[in-house]
Amino acid sequence: MKKITLLGATGSIGIQTLEVIRQYPQLFSVHAFAFGKNVKKAIPLIREFQPKILVVQDMETKHELQQHYAVRTEILVGAAGMVEVSIDPETDVLVNAVMGSVGLDATIQAIEKKKQIAIANKETLVTAGHLVMALAQQHQVQLLPVDSEHSAIFQCLQGEKQQQVERIILTASGGSFRDTPREALENVTVEDALKHPNWNMGAKITIDSASMMNKGLEVIEAHWLFNIPYDKIDVILHKESIIHSMVEFQDRSIIAQLGNADMRIPIQYALTYPNRMPLQESDPVNFIELGKMHFQEMSFERFPCLEMAYQAGKEGGTMPAVLNAANEQAVALFLQKKISFLAIEKVILEMLNTHQSIQHPDLETIQAVDQETRLKAIQFVTR
């Protein structure tokens, strides 16, 4: 029986992780889970899974939870609470599914405690990949990717030699506006942007998918997870989202991982690795019905956020942290309907252009740059 600590329990990945756990009560139990402020969504999950420890975003949420539910479990608060449950001796597996850089400290400390980590929090590797992977190597901890693309690459590399990899090919659906001319993007609404054609995801990642920043963050994440140079990571448009990613080897053989657009597949693989288990209520790919698949070249002109991510990743230092923080702040402002969709990339570009990169930053420097960038982004928008 693996005891799971789940960060981001009420988010899209969190809910689907709990669906997997629900299917296999003989294999998994929920030791602890963390959520933000969505008490209404959390209460039925608490009743069902009975975690021993809860973590909420702030004291206000803790009081709200206590008012609406007679909680017998311990309730911790904030980032410190997430760290505490992540390194708890009873935690066997940490599933880090929180959105944003808030999940970084918990991941780092869990690595130091040699926890098994299923990582869906791409910002951890984007902002501090050099620190996280060095620690993981030092403590011999394997990070199991939950993102569908990185899970695909991880699966394609099983039994293969790293030095024989020629390139990684990440596939991208194209997001909500893949068929919308760029000149028409100026006036798109939040509601338009949240209509993803293939995946059911949270609001922030859906916007990132529309801007292609999500794929840009995944490029940086892949660089660190698989120790692959940026010039050997390609991105192509693949509208069907059936091929989740591919690995090309020196002999020009290509291994791909295929499956329907169901996030429970990579989640379950991370939880059961190195084994595979049946996935209930999941349809196989019907190739006859599918008929054909489509691929298109990725255009930096059409998706400048992807180009910015490549550039920030190659420059390294604190640039990826600036990229991530600026994007998080800009997307939040867009979701609040305070800026336009295309203003997201303008905010990010301004933050990158005005930042003097610091090479080999420690955790405190990364966190300071993160906070500074968020403030500067707000000031840039409101000036």
Supply φ then ψ for residue 281, to 5 degrees: 55, 45
Q: Say whether 148 counts as a known binding-site residue.
A: yes
Is 209 annotated among the ligand-binding residues? yes
Asked whether residue 11 is marked as a ligand-binding residue, the answer is: yes
- H-assigned helices in the chain: 12-23, 39-49, 59-68, 78-86, 104-112, 122-138, 148-156, 190-193, 203-211, 213-226, 264-272, 287-290, 304-315, 319-335, 343-353, 363-382
Check whether 48 is labelled as a binding-site residue: no
Residue 218 among known ligand-binding residues: yes
Distance of alpha carbon 293 from alpha carbon 254, whole angstroms = 16
Query: Which residues make beta-bridge pairs with 144?
Result: 118
The answer to the question of whether 123 is labelled as a binding residue is yes
Is residue 12 annotated as involved in ligand binding? yes
Q: Known binder of ligand: residue 196?
A: yes
Q: How far apart are CA 307 and CA 175, in angstroms?
A: 16
Which residues touch 18 (CB under 8 Å, ≥6 apart)? 6, 9, 30, 45, 49
Annotation-wise, does 281 bind a ligand?
A: no
| 202 annotated among ligand-binding-site residues | yes
Query: Does 149 belong to an annotated binding site?
Result: yes
299 labelled ligand-binding = no
* 38 is annotated as contributing to ligand binding: yes
The answer to the question of whether 173 is labelled as a binding residue is yes
Contact partners, residue 19, CB within 8 Å, separation at least 6: 264
* Residue positions forming the annotated binding site for Mn(2+): 147, 149, 218
Show binding-site residues.
Answer: 10-13, 36-38, 121-123, 147-149, 173, 196, 202, 209, 214-215, 218
Residue set of the binding site for NADPH: 10-13, 36-38, 121, 123, 202
Going by the annotation, the residues of the binding site for 1-deoxy-D-xylulose 5-phosphate are 122, 148-149, 173, 196, 209, 214-215, 218
